[in-house]
Each structure stands twice: as structure tokens, then as C-alpha cells.
Amino acid sequence: MKGDLIKVDEGEMLELEVEEDILKANERIASINRKLLDLHGIRAFNFMGAIGSGKTEIIERLVERLKGKYRIFVIAGDVTTTIDADRIKRHGVRALEINTGRECHLDALMIKKALKRINLDEIDLIFIENVGNLICPADFPLGTHMNVVVVSVTEGPNMVKKHPFIIREADVVVINKIDLADVMEVNVDRLVKDARELNPRAKIVLTSARRGLGIDDLIKSLEL
């Protein structure tokens, strides 16, 4: 029915110019971050996904398996809590939390500040857990080498389709909590197909971080 839908076109957004400047500044700082990381031979990964998709748990499984091989640092982004960094530290891995307050994403400047606090000569890998949100983290590259987007079957059958922008930015798409697919009546093959259609170049990995399934595949996809 006509009249039921308002589409916001380009140029209709308030303060579009200001926002463009912000995005440009972010990109500039992201490339500074990347140079700094490369200078120190560090590989960095940006984990993005909704709250409850299992980002922290996936990073926990990764650090468990990789901490003997690499010196790892985790930067966790959250609006107010330090829950995620605390969980990581329990594995004997160094972590720092960035509280973003009202901001619903990490940006390159926050990462630049975080990198200043880390002794980069002592680190091989940095896992960044972005703020739980699948919309704007897509617009704010951080200077990392890979974007990892985590969706879980508990988020319903349309989770991939409804987040085209972030899926297109992904180098790796993780479909998590596959052990719950039957209970949730979600068809995992459909989610895989949706992701492939949006982003044919991304690697797609199926995991259950809770059960430790698919973690080896993920490590391979991250080229670690």
C-alpha cells in the first residue's frame, strides 16, 4: 500500500556533511592505525555482531587455543561495562575495555588511543570486540586487517538479510550457536546462502562457541 513506507534518500539526512567529515577523519586515523600495526608486525581483527551473538565467547575460544602460539591482546568495546574484558582476562590474556558511553560503535580514534597504552613490541595479535550492534560499526573501519561479523541462529532467520552493509564489509562471516538451530527452527543453509549472496568473497564459518565446534575452521579462516 502506498503511503505506508518512508524511504530516507541520500541527502535527506540531517547534518550529512558533518557526518561525511567524521567518516573521512575516521578513515584517515584508521590508516594510521594500520601503519602502526604493520610496523610492529601485529595482525588485528575487528569482531562485529549484535549483543548476545557470542562475540566474547568466540574470542575466548580463540585465545584458549592460540595463546600458546601468539602473544594476544584483546580490546573490548562496550557502552558502560567491563564484563567482556574481565572474561578475557580470566584466560590469562591481556585485555582493555573501551567504554563508549552513548556511542554505539568503536571508531579509529578510540583504537588509536588504546594502541598507545599497549606495548606493541610484545604483541602478535589484537582481537577487537566492537560494541554489540550490526549497523554503524560497518561505517567505521578501525585499521584492522580483517573484519569478522558474528551472527547467531538465535537472532532469527532474517538476521543476515537485514544487515547487508555490515555483511558486505566482512572478510569472515561466523554463524554461531548452530547447536540451537533446530530449537530455533532456523535453517542454517539459508543463512549461509543469504551471506553468500550479499558477499561472495567472504569466508563463512559455522560455529558453536559454547560447544567448541567450528573453532578450528575459524582459526583457518583467520589465517592463524
d(CA 147, CA 138): 9
Give the range of 47-55, 106-114, 130-138, 197-205 binding Zn ion by CB under 5 A.
130-138
d(CA 48, CA 177): 16
Contact status: 84 vs Mg ion (CB under 5 A): yes
Question: DSSP letter at 138?
Answer: G
For CA atoms 220, 177, 61, 199, the dihedral sign is: positive
Q: How many CB atoms lie within 10 A of CB 108?
A: 22
What count of residues does the chain have? 224
User: Which CB sits closer to Zn ion, 43 or 105?
Assistant: 105
User: Which CB sits closer to Zn ion, 105 or 177?
Assistant: 105
- How many residues lie near Zn ion (CB under 5 A)? 3
User: Which CB sits closer to Zn ion, 98 or 178?
Assistant: 98
Contact status: 53 vs Mg ion (CB under 5 A): no
Give the range of 31-39, 64-72, 84-92, 176-184 binding Mg ion by CB under 5 A.
84-92
Q: How far is the CB of 83 from Mg ion (least distance, A)?
A: 7
d(CA 107, CA 24): 12
Backbone angles phi, psi at 212, to 5 degrees: 75, 20
User: Which CB sits closer to Mg ion, 55 or 194?
Assistant: 55
Among Mg ion, Zn ion, none, residue 203 binds (CB under 5-8 Å by kind): none
Give the range of 10-18, 54-62, 94-102, 207-215 binding Mg ion by CB under 5 A.
54-62
d(CA 218, CA 209): 10
Q: How many CB atoms lie within 10 A of CB 35?
A: 11
Give the residue closest to Mg ion by C-beta. Answer: 56
- Of positions 33, 56, 130, 208, contacts Mg ion by CB under 5 A: 56
- Edge to edge, the sheet with strand 43-49 lists 94-99, 72-78, 125-129, 43-49, 146-152, 172-176, 203-206
Give the range of 13-21, 40-48, 76-84, 128-136 binding Zn ion by CB under 5 A.
128-136
Among Mg ion, Zn ion, none, residue 56 binds (CB under 5-8 Å by kind): Mg ion
Q: Where are the alpha helices (DSSP H) in the chain?
A: 16-39, 55-66, 83-89, 108-116, 164-169, 181-184, 188-198, 215-221
Query: Binding to Zn ion (CB under 5 A): which residues in 48-107?
Result: 104-105
Contact status: 97 vs Mg ion (CB under 5 A): no
Query: Binding to Mg ion (CB under 5 A): which residues in 141-160?
Result: none
Give the residues lining the site for Zn ion (CB under 5 A): 104-105, 136
